[in-house]
């Protein structure tokens, strides 16, 4: 009896084996390590960013074995994802040997992040609370459309993350664009919007993130709100450069007409697109005595075939914006029959949400 108890206790501290599919790579995970930590120590470029369970980049599907979660995963993962067996690698301790399936689509080609120095070369006020920031970095960067970079300003303790708004260039580019939303009380945005910041220097670490267009011959469904426009524009411009002909429906949620921006750029994309391209702006708070004749309500209410022009369940979805919009969109797409494996999203948290989550994540501060 005593020997069995001792064996059981010892087994709790022995490393477990994790196998990642479709790579077929197996590595050890220590008893005090999370699945993500074990993967990174083994040299596997496992998708991740925040490491505290809020961004969702490290989500993977547990296909065998058992884990113990360090947090309530339902705060980040949707009910559909949980039902499909998804876990957060950064919050999972192994209770047994496990096998997980990870979305590593084209990951072997993913650019390696590095440290850069940058300079703000221009700013443009797009709406009352959205600013485009054009910057130049000290050497060319190669990134994927949809990715982001961590920005550090002198005198500010924490970095912030902003998505690239321009398309990548073969061989890399020194010219970068970002879209920043002004948030009341946000250190970064209060500094940025206070005066002209042309010539200001900053640190940049990137590219990062696993939000990019997956290879497939299916329609592209985009949903964005606020500064979530940025990575979608990057993806769409990149698609034009690469002559991608897939049908596109881009739903953009805003409050009123003065919150709409980049309309000329989007119309130019529409005119050049080789196939069907639909842009559907939806206003949730536009006054009734208005000349607006477009859709009114919550943007997620319009995610159907009539507006998209194709069957939702036959598409791949890319969602960017505030968490409530993303959560509502995920629920809506689930009811439309779109599988979680074909739904990719990037939740933009501002500084107030980041303090609650004890994490700095994306955009808007």
Identify the structural domains of the chain with CATH numbers, from first to last.
2-104 (3.10.20.30), 110-208 (2.40.30.10), 220-357 (3.40.50.80)
**Helices and strands per DSSP (H, E), number in the chain:** 9, 19
Q: For residue 133, give the nearest of 103, 164, 160, 90 by alpha carbon.
A: 164
Give the residues across from 88 on adjacent strands: 59
Dihedral over alpha carbons 320, 325, 326, 330 (to 10 degrees) = -130
pLDDT of residue 213: 94
Vertex 81: Cα angle to 79 and 82 (nearest 5)? 65
Q: How far is Cα 295 from Cα 316, in angstroms, rounded to an integer?
A: 23
CB-based contact 245:113 (threshold 8 Å) = no
pLDDT of residue 356: 40
Give the residues across from 219 on adjacent strands: none
**If DSSP codes are grouped into helix, strand and coil, which group holds residue 81?**
helix
Please report, in tens digits, the pLDDT of each residue of the chain (365 residues total): 555 544 555 455 689 999 999 888 999 999 999 999 998 888 787 887 777 777 778 889 999 999 999 988 888 888 888 988 999 999 999 999 999 998 765 555 678 889 999 999 999 999 999 999 999 999 999 999 999 998 998 877 778 889 999 999 999 999 999 999 998 878 888 899 999 999 999 999 999 888 899 999 999 999 999 999 999 999 999 999 999 999 999 999 999 999 999 999 999 999 999 999 999 999 999 998 899 999 999 999 999 999 999 999 999 999 999 889 998 999 999 999 998 889 998 887 654 444 444 333 344 44
Q: How many angstroms from the chain centroid is the CA of residue 154?
A: 26
CB-based contact 313:338 (threshold 8 Å) = yes
Q: How far is Cα 331 from Cα 158, in angstroms, rounded to an integer?
A: 33
pLDDT of residue 351: 47
């Amino acid at each position: 009896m005593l020997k069995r108890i001792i064996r059981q206790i010892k087994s709790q501290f022995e490393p477990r084996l994790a196998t990642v599919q479709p790579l077929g790579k197996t590595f050890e995970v220590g008893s005090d390590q999370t699945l993500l930590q074990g993967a990174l120590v083994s040299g596997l470029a496992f998708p991740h960013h925040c490491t505290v369970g809020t961004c969702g980049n490290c989500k993977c599907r547990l296909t065998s074995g058992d884990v113990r979660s360090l947090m309530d995963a339902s705060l980040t993962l949707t009910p559909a994802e949980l039902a499909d067996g998804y876990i957060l690698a950064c919050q999972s301790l192994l209770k047994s040997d496990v096998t997980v399936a990870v979305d590593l689509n084209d990951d072997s080609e993913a650019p390696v992040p590095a440290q850069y120095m940058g300079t703000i070369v221009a700013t443009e006020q797009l709406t009352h609370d959205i600013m485009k920031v054009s910057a130049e970095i000290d050497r060319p960067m190669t990134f994927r459309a949809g990715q982001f970079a961590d920005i550090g300003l002198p005198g500010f303790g924490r970095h912030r993350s902003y998505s690239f708004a321009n398309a990548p260039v073969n061989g890399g580019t020194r010219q970068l664009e970002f879209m920043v939303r002004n948030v009341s009380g946000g250190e970064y945005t209060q500094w940025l919007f206070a005066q002209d910041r042309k010539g200001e220097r900053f640190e940049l670490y990137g590219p990062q993130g696993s939000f990019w267009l997956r290879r497939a011959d299916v329609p592209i469904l985009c949903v964005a709100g606020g500064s979530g426009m940025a990575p979608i524009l990057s993806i769409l411009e990149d698609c034009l450069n690469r002559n991608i002909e897939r049908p596109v429906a881009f739903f953009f949620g805003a409050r009123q007409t003065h919150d709409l921006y980049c309309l000329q750029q989007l119309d130019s994309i529409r005119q050049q697109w080789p196939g069907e391209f639909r842009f559907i702006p939806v206003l949730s708070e536009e006054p009734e005595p208005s000349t607006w004749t477009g859709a009114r309500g919550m943007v997620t209410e319009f995610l159907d075939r009539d507006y998209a022009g194709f069957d939702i369940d036959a598409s791949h979805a890319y969602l960017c914006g505030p968490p409530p919009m993303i959560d509502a969109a995920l629920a809506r797409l689930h009811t439309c029959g779109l599988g979680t494996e074909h739904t990719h999203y990037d939740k933009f948290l501002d500084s107030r949400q980041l303090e609650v989550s004890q994490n700095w994540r994306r955009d808007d501060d």
